[in-house]
Chains A and B, each alone.
Chain A
Amino acid sequence: MHLTDEEQGILDGAFGEPQRIALNVLVKLGQAYGADRLVEIASAHVVGSSYQIAGEAGIAIYTQLVEEGARVKVRTTSDPGSIDFARWRQFKTPGEYAERQIKIAELLDRMGVIPTWTCTPYTTFNVPRFGEDLGWSESSAVVFANSVIGARTNRLAAYVDLCAALVGRVPRFGLHVPECRRGEVAFELTPDLSANFEDHYFPALGYLVGQVTGDRISVILGVRRATFDQLKAFGAAAAASGSVALYHMVGITPEARTVDEALGGRQPSERHVVGTREVRETMAQMSTGQDGPVDVVGVGCPHASIDQIRRYAMLLQGKRVHTGVELWICANTVVEEMSRKMGYLETIEQAGAKLMVGTCHNDCPLGPWGFRRLVTDSGKFAYYTPTTVGTECIFASTEACFEAAITGRVDRR
């Protein structure tokens, strides 16, 4: 693996211990995966910002790095934390748990990490450009940056993302190499599905694609139009059910202006035809529980945009969340502030719903609530919450989620 003089200097310790440790990890990782050299990155995004992920080991690592003077070298943003910093008592987070998360926040702050506490850094503060190399983790953000924007990043592991941030480099292999970005597995929507593609089919189709492809690159044909938020939902679901880091949606995503471009001029190794029946079957698999009473509803995974907040406020206008039901909308502080300015927050709170800021149902310890049945419009929540929250989970459209919150029941018929 070729190293520049500066990189060799970093490895020799000329730029301090944190950079030496960080580069050493990145070089060894590159050697294990056939990287020819390192590439400079435009930004990093770190997932070990959450106490649930980092734990005491993370605090030990960050403390060591801070004591040795570590500072990030490129723009670096933080993934959600494990508490809503402003309202953790309201969400019944134990005080000693909140303290450990606040400790992580202080340590990341001292390294120069921008405290965005969001899984959607690409909407503000950390907006990649087409073709840029990045050092990102957070599977839903990685798949968005690669697929929708056309930036280049592997799915970095927790702490490897911070290593990348400390030296501003990653080993060049995998998705940094243009030839490794070609689609391999084709999914063709039937004409009927293509003509009647509903909003909540995006996370469902993403979930199906992830299940089939694992970490291979898919090419989706037949989606006629998609919003920013629909692509966000699709990718997050695919990255949860599989390890999808890049997909191509022909006519929609930038490296797939044509089928040929998406496949790199080759034939796909597999072809799948997907109809309404397959999407409905996937939705059934995404639910691990039965229809009936609901005690918690989760939307805003990945974190909600202001467009989504507007839609939620309209669904809640003049309505009241059912007694005994918690409706939490997950978002970041920027969207929170904007929804306050625009009056949506007032509508949401008057209806008895809550904004959950800088964290989500998945990241926050919810044991004290004793929830039993969660309803969500997110494919990622559907995949993880049966384990993280320990509830039954029902996947439903956004409208059906709000209906469930208002009536206190989910009925998918």
Chain B
Amino acid sequence: MSPSQIIRGRGCSPGEFEGEVVVSLQPFGFWQGIDPRTGIVIDRRHDLCGTSLCNKAFVFPYGRGSTGTPGIFLEAVKNGCAPAAIVNVKSEPMIVACALLAEAFFKVSIPIVDGLAADYRDLLRTGDRVRISGASGIIEVVSGG
């Protein structure tokens, strides 16, 4: 992978991120999906089970599930172990709400970018370092993992 590759998406929630990505090709539900005390994936049906999302940019196709999603997400934010950025093919309102509420009640900015190509397995890989701007929707791959 060439350094400094640029991916353009749609900015859904503002904020800046620089760090590592964790990539999954499966949809994800935070409710019953992560342990909010650690940020580790606990959904046994999911390919990331056992992986920590804490302070990572979490890349997955779209969110799944319960209207209780922000309950678990904000508990993780409060404990300092939520993902620090989110990148989706399509961000549903449930996911965007998580970031808006984190900003409103805990003053934590979580950039969200969607519009990622449906097949993103060659664009982003677990361990890549990226810069994400939630305002502009630009993801810059700084170095391959």
Contacts and interface: CB of A to CB of B under 8 A. Distances in A.
Contacts of A64: 105
A384 B36 CA distance: 18
Nearest to A171: B93
Contacts of B12: 32
Contact of B104 (A25, A48, A52, A58): A25
A49 to B, nearest CB: 10
B32 A58 contact: no
Contacts of B32: 384, 387-388
B100 interface: yes
A156 interface: yes
Interface in A4-37: 21, 24-25, 28-29, 32-33
A215 B67 CA distance: 13
A114 to B, nearest CB: 19
Residue among A32, A57, A64, A174 facing the most chain B CB atoms (10 A cut-off): A57
A139 B31 CA distance: 13
A122 to B, nearest CB: 15
Contacts of B31: 53
B94 interface: yes
Contacts, number: 103
B142 interface: no
B72 A53 contact: yes
B101 interface: yes
B72 to A, nearest CB: 7
B68 A53 contact: yes
A142 B69 CA distance: 15
Interface in A57-86: 57-58, 60-61, 64
Nearest to B33: A387
Given A60-B78, A64-B105, A29 B100 contact: yes
Given A32-B12, A55-B36, A61-B105, A25 B100 contact: yes
17 contacts: A24-B104, A25-B100, A32-B93, A55-B72, A55-B74, A57-B71, A57-B77, A57-B78, A137-B67, A139-B67, A142-B67, A155-B67, A157-B69, A157-B70, A158-B70, A158-B71, A159-B105
Interface of B: 12-13, 31-32, 36, 43, 64-72, 74-75, 77-78, 91-94, 96-98, 100-101, 104-106
Interface of A: 21, 24-25, 28-29, 32-33, 47-48, 50, 52-58, 60-61, 64, 137-139, 142, 154-161, 174, 215, 243, 384, 387-388
